[in-house]
Amino acid sequence: MVDPERAAAPQRPPRPPSWSSIPHKAQLAIICSVRIADFFQQASLQAYMYYQLKSFSPSSSDADISFQSGVLLGVFTAAQIFTGIIWGRVADSPGWGRKRVLMVGLVGQGISCLGVAFSGSFTTAVVWRGLGGAVNATVGGARTALSEATEKRYHSRTFLILPLAWNVANIFGPMVGGVLSDPVLNYPGLFGAGSVFGGADGVGWMTSWPYAAPNIFSALVCFADAALIFLGLRETLVSRKMVRDRGLEMAESLRYHLRRMFFKRWGYRQLDQQEEMQLGTPDVDDGEEATSTPLTPLPLKEMDAPPSVPMPKPSFYDTLTKNVLCVLLTVAFMDFQMGGFTSLWSVFLSSSLRTKEENQNISLPFHFAGGIGMSPSTVGVAMSTLGFVGIIFQLTLYPRVNARFGLLKSTMWSLAVFPLPYAIAPYLSLVVHEQVLLWLGVFLVAGLQVGARTFAVPGLVLLTNNASPSPAVLGTIHGLGAATSSAARTIGPIVAGHWYSQGLEGGSVGKAWWLLSMVALAGVVPSYWARDGR
């Protein structure tokens, strides 16, 4: 007999699945690498962007550089506004699928990095950044592939891969960007005049393009990841799962020949079929891959064949449900303020210190000027703190809080945290000569902003994914999400840069930060209209 009190007691929410229980980890790691490569080139640029723009026009003021920084960041996402939905439709088409779209995006992004590397003017750099954004389809493509790679019950864990990729890239991207920037100036013994590699006059191309090295490194990262996608990623689009994949066949052939070389070197050889029969080798399960022939690996069990009766694909108009629009509006507010923060943070850390005249004109709490005045390498370290803090929060807090309070509540609460770091950030310029207080402030701003981001980004990606009215338009929905995000990330840096420029001219470095804080606060409102599901 069931105890009525026990039956009436509220049940605890189910625990989130453990990382060890998630299937297809290799595929998830490859999808994660796509976003790492994309985020890496963006994070690396932020460490030296201020100084590269300054090298184009040394006479430009901090106000001019702040606006140009917003444009340089914004043009990349501006191009994605027009191509995001198109790439989403292309990724849904049987002729292309997710894998090809991801490869095109990475190769195009690598070419864009090379163009920025050898740009000689602000206009040229803007053109190359715009072209890179136009062909970059990794946002929607990676989200869609991630959604299809595992069952829905694992999504609370697997969608953490997206901000995890951002955090990993934000650890190494700024560091590499800061270390490789202007090598002739920073490493004269290696690349300067009369150096080991520089000869009599120094390395010519490094002198002409002092910020080419980190851009070239970013391009190589993108090209290498495109090769990894070609060789290792399985197609997740249902209509292309049974199509022959040359990349997987090539990878299997490479593994086969490497195994033969290893066995031959150490005196081993593979048994032929007759010897295996004599030794009573057990039958290989149909879910395992054969290792003796370089064939395309068999599809996973749950992906063996497409459904016998395909689901009807809704029209584009039918995909724009009320919930989809509410979620996209929330995404727009969030990405506006996050794009603005990315632009302001790197410029603020690099901006010149207050002059003696500006010191005399301080009128607290709102009227004061001056930046932090960090070098590119120090900016790289400061930017890397965002990644370190994010990884800690992701691996410890997010799954438990999400399981305890639910996806919608944890997302809404995280959005309410964003205004705090933006309101605090400008006051760091008042303690710039107190290094302990300065770095404590940097960690505080980074901790609050990244903590909120850790919950908000995967939460809104999941809400966007779950709002899709049909699996047949999942790529389109994520394409809409990518286009919305791109639009907001285009406007955010440009508007924030304009606010920052106005603030510097008026003697208030905090104007842009406080306006951004108000935008973040307004962004909490539409999240109350969204819901988890269709």
Dihedrals φ, ψ of 196, to 5°? Answer: -60, -50
Within a domain: 9: no
Are 388 and 521 contained in the same domain? yes
Within a domain: 95: yes
Dihedrals φ, ψ of 229, to 5°? Answer: -60, -45
Are 362 and 449 contained in the same domain? yes
More confident residue, 75 or 269: 75
Q: What mean pLDDT do residues 391-403 have? A: 77
Share of the chain above pLDDT 90, in %: 23
pLDDT in tens, 190-202: 888 877 787 777 7
Q: Flag whether pLDDT at 318 surpasses 80.
A: no
Are 95 and 243 contained in the same domain? yes
Query: What pLDDT, on a 0 to 100 scale, did the predictor assign at position 314?
Result: 63
Rounded CA Rg of the chain: 26
Q: From CA 447, how far away is CA 471, in angstroms rounded?
A: 36
Q: How confident is the model at residue 315 (pLDDT cuts 50, 70, 90)?
A: low
Q: Which residues contact 455 (CB under 8 A, 6 or more apart)?
A: 398, 401, 402, 410, 411, 413, 414
Q: How confident is the model at residue 52 (pLDDT cuts 50, 70, 90)?
A: very high
Q: Flag whether pLDDT at 305 surpasses 70.
A: no
Q: Flag whether pLDDT at 42 surpasses 80.
A: yes
Q: DSSP string of 44-63?
A: HHHHHHHHHHHHH-TT--HH
Are 246 and 340 contained in the same domain? no
Q: Flag whether pLDDT at 290 surpasses 50.
A: no
Within a domain: 226: yes
Are 61 and 141 contained in the same domain? yes
Are 343 and 243 contained in the same domain? no
The two structure tokens encoding residue 311: 């689901």
Are 498 and 397 contained in the same domain? yes
Query: What pLDDT, on a 0 to 100 scale, did the predictor assign at position 94?
Result: 83
Least confident segment among 177-191, 321-335, 360-374, 450-464: 360-374
Dihedrals φ, ψ of 282, to 5°? Answer: -65, 155
Q: Give the closest residue to 465 by CA, choosing from 214, 152, 35.
A: 152
Within a domain: 372: yes
pLDDT in tens, 329-346: 999 999 999 989 988 988
Within a domain: 401: yes
Q: Give the CATH number of the domain where residue 407 resides.
A: 1.20.1250.20
Q: Which residues contact 376 (CB under 8 A, 6 or more apart)?
A: 47, 48, 51, 177, 178, 181, 182, 350
Dihedrals φ, ψ of 100, to 5°? Answer: -65, -40
Q: From CA 111, how far away is CA 226, in angstroms rounded?
A: 12
More confident residue, 121 or 298: 121
Q: How far is CA 451 from the centre of its chain?
A: 16
Contact 40, 169 (CB under 8 A): yes
Q: Which amino acid, one-letter code, is at 159?
A: F
Q: Which amino acid, one-letter code, is at 462?
A: L
The two structure tokens encoding residue 78: 């501006």
Share of the chain above pLDDT 70, in %: 84
Q: Which domain holds residue 191?
A: 25-253
The residue assigned the tokens 């840096």 is 493
Query: What pLDDT, on a 0 to 100 scale, did the predictor assign at position 296?
Result: 42
Domain boundary among 253, 275, 303: 253
Consecutive H or E run containing 143: helix 138-149
The two structure tokens encoding residue 487: 């639009």
Most confident among 120-124, 249-253, 285-289, 523-527 (mean pLDDT):
120-124
Dihedrals φ, ψ of 195, to 5°? Answer: -95, -175
Are 348 and 209 contained in the same domain? no
Q: Flag whether pLDDT at 231 surpasses 90.
A: yes
Q: What mean pLDDT do residues 109-138 have? A: 93
Q: Flag whether pLDDT at 425 surpasses 90.
A: yes
Within a domain: 269: no
Q: How far is CA 421 from the centre of its chain?
A: 21
Q: From CA 190, how far away is CA 209, in angstroms rounded?
A: 16
Are 245 and 337 contained in the same domain? no
Domain boundary among 232, 253, 274: 253
Within a domain: 432: yes
Are 49 and 192 contained in the same domain? yes
Q: Give the closest residue to 55 by CA, choosing from 134, 141, 157, 125.
A: 125
Q: Which amino acid, one-letter code, is at 405?
A: F
The residue assigned the tokens 């709102």 is 366
Q: What mean pLDDT do residues 19-48 have? A: 87
Query: What pLDDT, on a 0 to 100 scale, did the predictor assign at position 347?
Result: 85
Query: What pLDDT, on a 0 to 100 scale, did the predictor assign at position 504?
Result: 84
Are 370 and 489 contained in the same domain? yes
Query: What pLDDT, on a 0 to 100 scale, did the predictor assign at position 116?
Result: 95
Least confident segment among 126-130, 396-400, 449-453: 396-400
Least confident segment among 73-82, 228-237, 425-434: 73-82
∠ Cα 498 500 502 (to 5°): 70
Report the first-to-last Cα separation within the chain, whole angstroms: 39
Within a domain: 279: no
Our count of domains for the chain comes to 2
pTM of the model: 0.72
Most confident among 166-170, 206-210, 276-280, 290-294 (mean pLDDT):
206-210
Least confident segment among 33-47, 48-62, 80-94: 80-94
Cis-peptide, bond into residue 312, ω within 30° of zero: no
Are 204 and 338 contained in the same domain? no
The chain-wide mean pLDDT, for the chain, equals 81
The residue assigned the tokens 């340089």 is 72
Give the per-residue SS3 of 477-501: HHHHHHHHHHHHHHHHHHHHHHHHH
Query: What pLDDT, on a 0 to 100 scale, did the predictor assign at position 295?
Result: 41
Domain boundary among 223, 253, 283: 253
Query: What pLDDT, on a 0 to 100 scale, did the predictor assign at position 229?
Result: 93
Q: Flag whether pLDDT at 513 surpasses 90.
A: yes
Quick check: helix, strand or coil at residue 371? Answer: coil
Q: How confident is the model at residue 288 (pLDDT cuts 50, 70, 90)?
A: very low
The two structure tokens encoding residue 431: 């303690």
Q: From CA 132, how far away is CA 379, in angstroms rounded?
A: 24
Q: How confident is the model at residue 299 (pLDDT cuts 50, 70, 90)?
A: very low
